[in-house]
């Protein structure tokens, strides 16, 4: 079994490192780009998203001007082992609202109700919750009480209510991460490893996939809204 715990401060290194490893392992699932492991750009997003999550975790100490909260699932047999995590951002000006930033569960621990339990723990505190996911994950979150609102880029925006909060959601500016020396160094290494043509093809492949997922999300939401109107 597992224990669901909400952390109020920056997690200790033992938990932080396990969360970061999950981010690296499941970057395809949790990144809004949905980058595939076969794409040469994959390591770039592992670093970029990983650094973003790390900054959010560090912000839990109050060093930034916005709130960040974290829920973790710990293994009952070994409480030092993190089975899953849910990172979310409370909305300023609306005490009932929050937005899911990142969530992951270890592959070996899935289908045990961990994600559902973490979400439920979050909803007990913030019943007006929002998240964005890929089309194939929509039924999964519908089963948790979320409903489709509209498309947002390659993802579908879902909410526990039929509208978004009017409060302020503060998020990290990720531009500095992807403009950093570290990212440029990683890109230079990948360029040397794969060659210019392969890297150019990788960027085109990523962009084609994003365009395809964006069309898919838009079509899905339009169909869902039409069906809902017909049912009404």
How many CB atoms are closer than 10 A to CB 44? Answer: 20
Residue 89 in contact with residue 122, Cβ under 8 Å?
Answer: no
Phi, psi for residue 175 in degrees, rounded to 5: -55, -45
Confidence at residue 82, expressed as pLDDT on a 0 to 100 scale: 96
Average pLDDT for 32-51: 95
Per-residue confidence (pLDDT) for residue 231, from 0 to 100: 73
Domains, in order of start, for the chain = 2-127+169-215 (3.40.630)
161-188: average pLDDT: 94
Give residue-wise pLDDT tens across range 88-120.
999 999 999 999 999 999 999 999 999 999 999
Residue 49: the pLDDT is 96
**Strands of 69-75's sheet in order across:** 2-7, 69-75, 82-90, 97-105, 128-133, 155-159, 147-152
* Whole-Å CA distances, 72 to 19, 106, 126: 9, 12, 16
Percent share of the chain, pLDDT over 90: 90
pLDDT for the residue 133: 96
**Residue 126 CA from chain centroid, whole number:** 18
The reported pLDDT for the residue numbered 232 is: 64
pLDDT band at 66 (very low <50, low <70, confident <90, very high): confident
């Amino acid at each position: 079994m597992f224990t669901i715990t909400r952390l109020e401060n920056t997690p200790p290194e033992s938990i932080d490192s396990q969360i970061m490893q999950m981010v690296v392992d499941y970057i395809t699932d949790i990144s809004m780009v949905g980058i595939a492991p076969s794409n040469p750009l994959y390591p770039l997003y592992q670093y970029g998203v990983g650094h973003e999550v790390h900054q959010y975790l560090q912000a839990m100490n109050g060093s930034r001007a916005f709130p960040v909260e974290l829920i973790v699932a710990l293994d009952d047999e070994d409480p030092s082992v993190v089975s899953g995590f849910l990172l979310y951002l409370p909305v300023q000006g609306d005490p009932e609202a929050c937005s899911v930033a990142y969530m992951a569960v270890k592959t070996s621990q899935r289908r045990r109700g961990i994600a559902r339990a973490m979400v439920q723990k979050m909803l007990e505190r913030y019943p007006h919750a929002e998240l964005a996911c890929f089309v194939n994950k929509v039924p999964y979150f519908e089963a948790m009480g979320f409903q489709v609102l509209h498309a947002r880029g390659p993802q579908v925006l879902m909410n526990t209510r039929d509208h978004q909060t009017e409060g302020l959601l503060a998020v990290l500016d990720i531009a500095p991460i992807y403009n950093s020396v570290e990212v440029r160094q990683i890109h230079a290494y990948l360029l040397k490893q794969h060659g210019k043509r392969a890297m150019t093809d990788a960027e085109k492949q990523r962009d084609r996939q994003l365009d395809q997922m964006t069309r898919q999300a838009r079509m899905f939401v339009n169909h869902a809204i039409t069906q809902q109107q017909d049912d009404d």
